């Protein structure tokens, strides 16, 4: 095991995200907020020493994160909410920021562009 020179953020949907998801026409999923939050997106971020640096980084990339979360359910942007401001992002998602990342797997990491796994 070894330390990785990154921090991590866990992006967890909140009730407004679930409300949007349930309001999408033709949506036949029956999800609870608990089920949505049980397997969340985790992103690697630059290493930081002050948690506020992590929050600032999320603020800088919130639009990409918001779009990624919406696209993970519906690629048709016409179904997405029109309001996707930074304020809305923080209302729709909790973000847990962690400063320590340890790789427990032997071997090199492989990089894939988002959405191409």
Task: Supply the pTM of this predicted model.
Answer: 0.87
The answer to whether residue 63 sits within a structural domain is yes
The answer to whether residue 70 sits within a structural domain is yes
Tell me if 29 sits within 8 A of 59, measured CB to CB.
Answer: no
In the chain, the N- to C-terminal Cα span, in Å, equals 24
Q: Which pLDDT tens digit goes with each residue over 35-68?
A: 999 999 999 999 998 889 999 999 999 999 999 9
CA torsion sign for 67, 69, 80, 85 is: negative
Taking 70 as the threshold, does the pLDDT of residue 95 lie above it? yes
The answer to whether residue 114 sits within a structural domain is no
Give dist(CA 78, CA 17) in Å, integer. Answer: 16
Taking 60 as the threshold, does the pLDDT of residue 85 lie above it? yes
Average pLDDT, the chain: 91
The answer to whether residue 116 sits within a structural domain is no
The answer to whether residue 72 sits within a structural domain is yes
The answer to whether residue 112 sits within a structural domain is no
Q: Give me 40's structure tokens.
A: 């969340």
- Residue 12's pLDDT band (cuts 50, 70, 90): very high
Q: Which pLDDT tens digit goes with each residue over 68-81?
A: 999 999 999 999 99
The answer to whether residue 110 sits within a structural domain is no
The answer to whether residue 59 sits within a structural domain is yes
User: Looking at the 3D structure of the chain, how many domains does it have?
Assistant: 1
The residue range of the domain holding 11 is: 2-103
């Amino acid at each position: 095991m070894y330390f990785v020179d990154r921090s991590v953020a866990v992006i967890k949907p909140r009730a407004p995200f679930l409300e949007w998801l349930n309001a999408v026409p033709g949506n036949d999923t029956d999800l609870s907020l608990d089920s949505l939050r049980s397997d969340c997106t985790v992103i690697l971020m630059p290493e930081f020493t002050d948690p506020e640096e992590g929050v600032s980084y999320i603020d800088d990339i919130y639009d990409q994160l918001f779009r990624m979360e919406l696209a993970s359910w519906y690629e048709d942007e016409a179904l997405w909410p029109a309001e996707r401001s930074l304020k809305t992002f923080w209302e729709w998602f909790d973000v847990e920021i962690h400063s320590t990342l340890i790789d427990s797997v032997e071997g090199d990491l492989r990089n894939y562009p988002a959405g191409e796994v």
